[in-house]
Structure 1
Amino acid sequence: MVSKLRNIVGALKDKASQTKASLLCTTTTATATATTLTISPNLAVLRATPHNPPFDPPHPHHLSTLLSFGSSPRPAAAALLSSLISRLLSTRNASVALKSLLALHHLFIHGAFILRDQLSTALSRPSGSRHPLHLSSFRDPSSPESWTMSSWVRWFAGVLELLLASPLFTDGDDSISSLPNPDLLSELTSLVELLLETRRSPPFPTWEDNALVREVVRVVAGDSLAAKHAILFRVREVRERLGSLDYADSVELRCLLRRLEDEEVKDKEEELSTPSDLNRGAGDSFWNEIKDVRERIGELVLKKEFDKSRVGRDRVGESDRIHIRFGFVEPSRFGSFRLY
């Protein structure tokens, strides 16, 4: 009964909000051949993120309308993103929040450059906040299912934040090969963080009955696959540069790849409890290449450590001989080359 009443209230809110947006914000644009009705950004957002049906994802037609703002002037695109982010941050409804996140994700993945650019600008924070969407504490206690869905809101927002900061759209051969080693390592770290986060979906036993969550699972699975391709592309580039890596970068890279290998072990342990759309098992070729490069880097680190210790011993030995030659210390003090 409570659920039905909540759905009715949500439907009334949708109707009132859309009617208000239609009356106040819709404009008419005249062209040389006809007069067309231009939907306002607010109305487009409200139609794509309604309260009801609560467990249905945004309709493809409404998402296409949002994408059409990519061919509009920049102020219109900025107004759309501002309205969508405002909708996301002001709602306390888990269903509306997930639909808003799906719409943002769709704009970032499929939108024109102007939309992705405006999205990055709209979410930028002078303080450098780790969570620009500010949904890490989101809660919807209105029903048991909404409470469970809240965890999906928090998780999906975290995935989207990492996706926005990732270099998935810079995978050209020239752009990667021209990166200095520290920048290449920074990009690889960003992608690994994204991949690991996509594989930390919260528990949701009834996910098969919820089309909204199932859509979240589907799009995040696509992000996971894209992150794996981008990681593999950069790992292969690293393999070509092994001779140019310094000691610090080598150690950091080895730790990063070891984290990935640890995830492979978790995949096998959690495979039975994971929705099929989020197949956590990665292809053998991916893990084999990760392991191969990690082992090569491990050998490189050991060699650098050995060379470093040998140089240190040589320097201490030479220093001892100088001091002994001029009578500054007793010869027996440094017999083992240890510094006291």
Structure 2
Amino acid sequence: MSGGGTQNSLRKALGAIKDTTTVSLAKVNSDYKELDIAIVKATNHYERPAREKNIRAIFAAISATRPRADVAYCIHALARRLSRTHNWAVALKTLIVIHRALREVDPTFHEELINYGRSRNHMLNMSHFKDDSSPNAWDYSAWVRTYALFLEERLECFRVLKYDIEMDRPRTKDLDTAELLEQLPALQQLLFRVLGCLPQGAAVHNFVIRLALSMVASESIKIYQAISDGTVNLVDKFFEMQRPDALKALDIYRRSGQQAERLSEFYEVCKSLDVGRGERFIKIEQVRILHLWCLLKLICLSLNSSHMSS
């Protein structure tokens, strides 16, 4: 066996020992021992998806029926797990737990997570995270950082929209101009983070990363639909806008066309990786994009016309 392989095996063994030790300490010292044990087991060093029963135990602890102190403790425990680890598997599986909670638990969890971030450094700030145990771990670490950025933006989008884009029906079709100009940039920034989630290098072949990517890809469908509905709604209101708002709307139109093209490419890569199998990825019609760009040119020409309010 090579020296690198021996070192990697040793790190895995040490990680397993560390998990076992943490579980043993939780059984003795913790007031929330069942929850602490579930968190350690759901985010252990093993490079495979967490067991569903451990994730469900965590979700039970953060439901709307539980005392807020219990929810706050769970968030703190997850944040502590993220901040202390230098192992990509632990970090990634912790982020997956948080992502699934945002998708599957009631919105009170979102609010508690936002409140936690206000009182401390944001727990999803993983910009300095790295696992340098192997060349593959470098690639995995890069994707962990990208995934954390997506989740951070997802939470910010919830704060702006006041609802979860995955759990609820998109509402951009019915918004007024002021609401559209606030919410569409937030949705476009979230889609920007989606587009950055394509794995590189060894991360392309990692099963746990593909699992997380499949959730990101599935959410992009509703995000894009919300942007499309809102953009059409904004076009209808364009000639009623004051000039500053019209300029903001033009930037939204421009970015919408650019992101549609990139999203089409994103879906092609996902399909080639067999990510999101069973998902019906929407077709981004290039003809519609071209029509939108033509519309933009006409609008630009009319910016200084008598149709625009001064």
What TM-score does the superposition give when structure 1 sets the normalisation length?
0.75
2: distance between equivalents of 1:254 and 1:229?
19
1:138 and 2:129 equivalent? Answer: yes
Cα deviation 1:118-171 (Å, max 9, x = unaligned)? 112112268xx8x76221121111111111111011100110011001135276
Could you tell me whether the CA contact under 8 Å between 2:170 and 2:222 is conserved in 1? no
2: distance between equivalents of 1:116 and 1:232?
25
Q: In the alignment, residue 80 of structure 1 is paired with which amino acid?
A: C
Aligned length: 292
1: distance between equivalents of 2:85 and 2:205?
23
Cα distance change of structure 1 residues 45 and 160 upon mapping to structure 2, 3 Å threshold: same
1:163 and 2:151 equivalent? Answer: no
Q: How does 1:89-168 map to 2 (within 5 A)?
A: 89-124=83-118, 133-166=124-157, 167=161
Q: In the alignment, residue 143 of structure 1 is paired with which amino acid?
A: S
Q: How does 1:266-285 map to 2 (within 5 A)?
A: 266=262, 271=268, 275-277=273-275, 283-285=283-285
Q: How does 1:190-209 map to 2 (within 5 A)?
A: 190-207=186-203, 209=205
Cα distance change of structure 1 residues 191 and 125 upon mapping to structure 2, 3 Å threshold: farther
Cα distance change of structure 1 residues 102 and 194 upon mapping to structure 2, 3 Å threshold: same
How many angstroms does 1:40 deviate by?
3.6
Cα distance change of structure 1 residues 164 and 272 upon mapping to structure 2, 3 Å threshold: closer
Could you tell me whether the CA contact under 8 Å between 2:107 and 2:164 is conserved in 1? no
1: distance between equivalents of 2:302 and 2:124?
44
Q: Which residue of 1 aligns with 2:3?
A: none
Residue 248 (structure 1) aligned to one of 228, 234, 244:
244
1: distance between equivalents of 2:197 and 2:144?
11
Which structure would you say has the larger Rg?
1
Could you tell me whether the CA contact under 8 Å between 1:41 and 1:83 is conserved in 2? no
1:49 and 2:43 equivalent? Answer: yes
SS of the equivalent of 1:307 reads coil
Q: Which residue of 2 aligns with 1:263?
A: 259
1:14 and 2:19 equivalent? Answer: yes
Q: Which residue of 1 aligns with 2:53?
A: 61
2: distance between equivalents of 1:183 and 1:60?
39
SS of the equivalent of 2:303 reads helix
Q: How does 1:180-329 map to 2 (within 5 A)?
A: 180-207=176-203, 209-266=205-262, 271=268, 275-277=273-275, 283-285=283-285, 292=291, 295-296=294-295, 298-307=297-306
Could you tell me whether the CA contact under 8 Å between 2:130 and 2:141 is conserved in 1? yes
How many angstroms does 1:294 deviate by?
5.5
Could you tell me whether the CA contact under 8 Å between 2:102 and 2:109 is conserved in 1? yes
1: distance between equivalents of 2:241 and 2:290?
18
Could you tell me whether the CA contact under 8 Å between 2:136 and 2:203 is conserved in 1? no
How many angstroms does 1:115 deviate by?
1.8
Cα deviation 1:173-209 (Å, max 9, x = unaligned)? 87863x5423311210011111122112354344464
How many angstroms does 1:75 deviate by?
0.9
Between 297-306 and 223-232, the greater mean CA deviation after superposition: 297-306
Q: In the alignment, residue 7 of structure 1 is paired with which amino acid?
A: K
Between 291-300 and 192-201, the greater mean CA deviation after superposition: 291-300
Cα distance change of structure 1 residues 60 and 291 upon mapping to structure 2, 3 Å threshold: farther
SS of the equivalent of 1:241 reads helix
Structure 2, gaps ≥5 residues long: 1-5
How many angstroms does 1:292 deviate by?
4.7
Cα distance change of structure 1 residues 245 and 297 upon mapping to structure 2, 3 Å threshold: farther
Could you tell me whether the CA contact under 8 Å between 1:124 and 1:132 is conserved in 2? no
Q: In the alignment, residue 103 of structure 2 is paired with which amino acid?
A: I
Cα distance change of structure 1 residues 186 and 291 upon mapping to structure 2, 3 Å threshold: farther
- Percent identity between the two aligned chains: 23
How many angstroms does 1:107 deviate by?
1.0
1: distance between equivalents of 2:23 and 2:17?
10
Q: In the alignment, residue 58 of structure 1 is paired with which amino acid?
A: A
Could you tell me whether the CA contact under 8 Å between 1:257 and 1:290 is conserved in 2? no
